[in-house]
Amino acid sequence: MHIVDRRLNPRGKSLENRQRFLRRMKGAVQQAVKRSLQNRNIRDVLDGGEISLPIDGMAEPSFRRGEGGIADHILPGNRAFVEGDIIPRPPGGKGGKPKDAGEGDGEDGFRFVLTREEFLDVFLDDLELPDLAKRRLAETEEETPFRAGYSVSGSPSNIAVGRTTKLAMMRRVALGRPRREEIEALARQIEECEDEESRLALEAKLKSLTEKSRRIPYIDPLDVRYRRFENEPKPVAKAVMFCLMDVSGSMSEHMKDLAKRFYLLLYLFLSKRYKKVEIVFIRHTDRAEEVDEETFFYGPATGGTLVSSALAAMRAIIAARFDPAEWNIYGAQASDGDNAHSDGNLTGQLLREILPLCQYFAYIEVGEEGGDSSVSRSPLWMLYDGIRSELPPLSMRKVCRRSEIFPVFHDLFQKRDAQSRVTP
Amino acid sequence: MTMTVRPRERLLFEGADWDFATLQRIHDACEEIALGELGLDVYPNQIEVITSEQMLDAYSSTGMPLFYRHWSFGKHFAHHETFYRRGMRDLAYEIVINSSPCISYLMEENTATMQTLVTAHAAFGHNHFFKNNYLFKLWTDAEGILDYLDFAKGYITRCEERYGETAVERTLDAAHALMSHGVHRYAGKTTIDLRQEEKRLQERRAHEEQMFNDLWRTVPVGKAKKPGDIGLEKRRAALGLPQDNILYFLEKSAPRLQPWQREILRIVRHVAQYFHPQRQTKVMNEGTATFVHYKIMSRLHERGQISDGNFLEFLKSHANVVFQPSYDDRRFSGFNPYALGFAMMQDIERIVTKPTEEDRTWFPDIAGRGDAMGVLRDVWANYRDESFISQFLSPNLIRQLRLFHLYDDPEQTEGVLVSAIHNERGYLRIRRQLSREYDIGWTDPAIDIVDVDLAGDRRLLLQHIVMNGCYLQESDTKLVLQHLADLWGYDVLLQEIDSSSTVAKEHTASPRKIAQ
């Protein structure tokens, strides 16, 4: 008998099969992931999660008998029946087998768990940050030295001995520097030489050789090389996302829900691209305040509307905590489009100040369910529409239905040529 | 045996912990009983300790330790994993492979008692069955299977490199769909030798490379024979029709397959054939293993090698394994092969050692013969589920399980007829019907390839003989037929022939354009 311990064998033998399965089911998985995004908290989504796929499309068919026809069954556990009894079929039952209740376990859909990475990969498959060229890789967290060839100058501790001697030898060979053995042999020859004439010739030769070896040094300063190091800065990309939401009385629960979904997608997206993502939640009525996630979405505040207050708060927070030289700043504003008439000028002015600091600013105008998402004549929309032509990183979309959130988001962030702009 | 040995010293293990030395002791103790007392005959054993994740892996690729890659195995893995993670389903305690050496997997999470149970069950029960049952002897090659699978895996990987993953996946999908109709049901002259298979392919490739001569391409072809001349019978004979092994037919005769596609069909066919005996011997195989583990564990306990506490733990697992819920129980989902097989084998043991008058009339050959193990070994070697049940399901067991027969005719509007119960009049009918339910010749739809229209559009004609008015499942049949047409390269027609020999239903499929 032979015992083998296989526990340390490479894990994930089925990984390849699993990936093939996901690749094959790509479309269905994408649908399922989108569906599973509903009803989740922003940060929960990052844990990946269980999704369920429709069973068709990955069926493995075979020739099988269908329903119908005469069927015989042998069953255990008879207590009451005698031969000749007729058991009435359950109403609506097809086969009449008295065991239909427990059947079909797990067949309605096919559930399984995606890892966080798989989940995000599927979700963000073809999205990208707009204006990539402008993206700043800010603040160097650490610098690591790496070998960068040789240099002719440097500190003595960094002399590259091997490279130096190699160069010296190449130079000596090339310039024909006489070898020491050669000179010694010549000197011995001169001592042993009896003939005056040839001795003189030899001495002349020796003289020229010694002169030559003095002219061509064993190691020349030209040969010396130093190991060169360069410091590589390790960039740490950081991003901050400002969620601005109007919570005035005109915003219904449905509108807040739409906004929440949009923020959720944006957060997911940013956290995939950046090492560090901060979120700032700002809600506003006629005055703005920075709040936590819970309060942001569920807090029962209400009042009039002054959009400028939120923008002013955003500007103040940027100035205080997020240096635009270090942070990639994103803004997402959700509103129903209402604003006090008197506030228009101030809002426009603030937005013009903020936009140059931002990588991207998305304005989502939320409407009531069943509204028309193609047009908007709200004061805020008109104002922003005017600014968009002057300052590029602003996109605007109007959304009325839940199902539109993903397409709109997708549209705003999909890969596109550097030239083309986001248009509503 | 001496009476003075203190039982405590002879325990194989204490508590639940185990190490490799314990496994060795367990195996040796089981072996002593299995070979010495039960007279079993087994392949050499190899025991592999694995983690639960690896168990899931093994599960998903039909229990084989190495297998080619295919998305469907990933699907099965994900499926099992979800159920396992949610705690809705336990993992199987064991997987055992019909190979020589016979490989049994033990999970590291198992307790020492469970490891003993699994060793007795798999390494001796299943192992003996694999080595001795006539179906396995005829159809499987225990020495060659692992090498063959290794070859198959490598071959398919090379195909993926050369012809692209998509093309290989399509071929495999199609082959898998036809897998259930890719076995030879009746033994031919040759026995299976998988090592030969592998060599054969290499030799043929080398030969082709040697013989290849580009000049031959320009050699003029002789005048083509008129295909119309060939008579129907001759044509069918030339193509080996009718043929129920669809994969075999395609591999040999499909006109548009590439050589590598034929080889993939061949691999899938060999795998299907390898598992064919297992499909026909579920009740017997599990029954044997359960009977053997029960015997061995009881003996170990009697000999004082397992403590009372651990034996109780075993009995609890054993009771779960052989639990058979009644038809009206929520947990009922058909017969439990472990329960039925184990009950029948215990019953045979009873008939052989303590027969009643009834047993003597029903089983004159074995009743009271005295050598239970001898009779069982003979049964294990020479029967499959269908013949086993039709020979050995006794009235006693029918009463004990309270079996009854339902006859469900859709024409009968009042309801389902109870046509036999566990009484004198019902025994034979119940036994015959239950045995039929285990006959895959009866349960699998009978589909034959009957003709090819060689003169015309090369359409392939298949027939399904409808039994009891039960037609093929519509949507699946469409999909399988599509795969079949893709492989065949021309149209395919499947006729369903009912009891009056008329065509009751037809399905057709045309090949999809596949960029090769």
Interchain contact, A21 vs B71, CB within 8 Å? yes
> Residue B434: its pLDDT value, please?
93
Rounded distance between C-alpha atoms, residue B114 and residue B122, angstroms: 12
Among the partner residues B85, B405, B416, nearest to A87 by beta-carbon distance: B416
Among the partner residues B54, B407, B422, nearest to A78 by beta-carbon distance: B422
Query: Can you give the C-alpha Rg of chain B in angstroms?
Result: 27
Domain boundaries, chain A: 15-56+109-126, 151-228, 238-413
Q: Determine the distance in angstroms separating the CA of A348 from the nearest CA of chain B, rounded to an integer.
A: 53
Rounded distance between C-alpha atoms, residue B135 and residue B341, angstroms: 17
pLDDT in tens, B222-255: 555 555 555 667 777 777 778 889 999 999 888 8
Q: 3-state secondary structure string, A67-113?
A: CCCCEEEEECCCCCCCCCCEECCCCCCCCCCCCHHHCCCCCCEEEEE
Residues 28-87 of B with CB under 8 A from A: 28, 31, 44-51, 53-54, 56-57, 60-61, 69-75, 77-79, 81-83, 85
Interchain contact, A68 vs B425, CB within 8 Å? no
CB neighbourhood size of A17 (10 A)? 24
Query: Residue A301 in contact with residue A310, Cβ under 8 Å?
Result: no
Q: Determine the distance in angstroms separating the CA of A34 from the nearest CA of chain B, rounded to an integer.
A: 20
Rounded distance between C-alpha atoms, residue A45 and residue A38, angstroms: 10
Rounded distance between C-alpha atoms, residue A240 and residue A245, angstroms: 16
Give A14's contacts in chain B (Cβ within 8 Å): 56-57, 60-61, 73-74, 77
- In terms of CA atoms, which chain B residue is nearest residue A58? B72
pLDDT tens-digit profile, chain A (424 residues): 788 888 877 766 777 887 888 788 777 777 777 666 655 555 555 566 667 766 556 778 888 888 778 888 899 988 888 888 888 877 654 444 443 333 333 344 666 677 767 776 776 665 555 543 344 444 445 567 788 888 888 888 888 999 999 999 999 999 888 888 888 888 888 888 888 888 888 888 888 888 888 888 888 888 899 988 887 766 566 778 888 888 777 777 778 777 877 787 777 777 766 767 788 888 887 778 888 877 777 777 677 778 888 888 888 888 888 887 777 788 888 888 777 778 888 888 888 888 888 877 888 888 877 777 667 778 888 888 878 777 667 788 888 877 677 767 777 766 554 434 443 3
- In terms of CA atoms, which chain A residue is nearest residue B181? A63
pLDDT in tens, B94-119: 788 889 899 998 888 888 999 999 99
The token pair at A175 is 């310039």
* pTM over the 0.90 mark: no
Strand partners, A398: A365
Residues 151-210 of B with CB under 8 A from A: 165, 169, 173, 176-181
| Cα pseudo-dihedral A78, A82, A85, A87, rounded to 10 | -10
Nearest CA among B430, B507, B425, B416 for reference residue B464: B507
Give B173's contacts in chain A (Cβ within 8 Å): 60
Among the partner residues A16, A60, A74, nearest to B403 by beta-carbon distance: A74
Please tell me the CATH code under which domain A238-413 is placed.
3.40.50.410
The token pair at B170 is 């399509």
Give A17's contacts in chain B (Cβ within 8 Å): 60-61, 69-71, 73-74, 77
- In terms of CA atoms, which chain A residue is nearest residue B68? A17
Q: Determine the distance in angstroms separating the CA of B78 from the nearest CA of chain A, rounded to an integer.
A: 6
- In terms of CA atoms, which chain A residue is nearest residue B66? A13
Cβ-Cβ pairs closer than 8 A, A with B, add up to: 261
